[in-house]
Amino acid sequence: MATNLKNLSSYDHTAVPDASKMKFGIVVAEWNEVITKALLAGAVGTLKKHNVKEENIHIEWVPGSFELVLGAQYFAEFDDIDAILVLGCVIQGETRHFDFICQGVTQGITDLNLKYNLPFIFGLLTTDNQQQAVDRAGGKHGNKGDEAAVTAIKMVGMKEKIQKNNM
């Protein structure tokens, strides 16, 4: 949770492995586009900061957050990718739609991680209102997209390290 104790864009740069050979897929939701564009900018900027090449960042848009899971699965099935980031923003409304979308995406992403043995990174903002989303998409609590990018690089690095140690 982004709180006063944790800014989403703060991390120890020395603890992030070099990502110059890594390849990432990013699936972004069109709903709440102002927010998701900011998440995407954060994620891409952070990947590049850690030497990911432009041609190794593959971006696809889906209509809403509910479609993030299938979009991510398409990357896993049809592309040679090291990790997939999903970026979306679900804002609480008057109905229970929020709960169903959040549950679906959370469980879906969890299942994909295990099914494909690949890092699928959960870059979904689930907020009570627009301001909370703004605060976490490059605002006072940092950018969830930055956090997703760093997490993706770290997970790929971890997998590579364990594979190397066991060869």
Residue 99, token pair as written in the block: 């709960």
Q: What is the CA radius of gyration of the chain?
A: 15
The minimum distance between CB 112 and ligand DLZ, in angstroms, equals 17
Torsion angle of the four alpha carbons 34, 86, 147, 119, in this order, in degrees rounded to the nearest 10: -170
Q: Does 31 bind ligand DLZ (CB under 6 A)?
A: yes
Can you spell out the DSSP letters for 54-87? GGGEEEEEESSGGGHHHHHHHHHHHS--SEEEEE
The Cα 66–Cα 13 span in angstroms is 32
Q: Does 90 bind ligand DLZ (CB under 6 A)?
A: yes
142 three-state secondary structure:
strand
Between 11 and 122, CB nearer to ligand DLZ: 122
The Cα 137–Cα 95 span in angstroms is 24
The minimum distance between CB 107 and ligand DLZ, in angstroms, equals 14
Burial of 140 (0-12, 13-18, 19+ CB in 10 A): exposed
Between 110 and 130, CB nearer to ligand DLZ: 130
Does the annotation mark 58 as catalytic? no
The minimum distance between CB 65 and ligand DLZ, in angstroms, equals 3
Between 9 and 32, CB nearer to ligand DLZ: 32
* Binding residue (CB under 6 A) for ligand DLZ from 65, 127, 132, 151: 65
Q: Does 18 bind ligand DLZ (CB under 6 A)?
A: no
Q: Does 102 bind ligand DLZ (CB under 6 A)?
A: no
Q: Does 66 bind ligand DLZ (CB under 6 A)?
A: yes
Enzyme catalytic residues: 97
Q: Name the site residues for ligand DLZ (rule: CB under 6 A).
A: 29, 31-32, 63-67, 88-91, 93, 97, 101
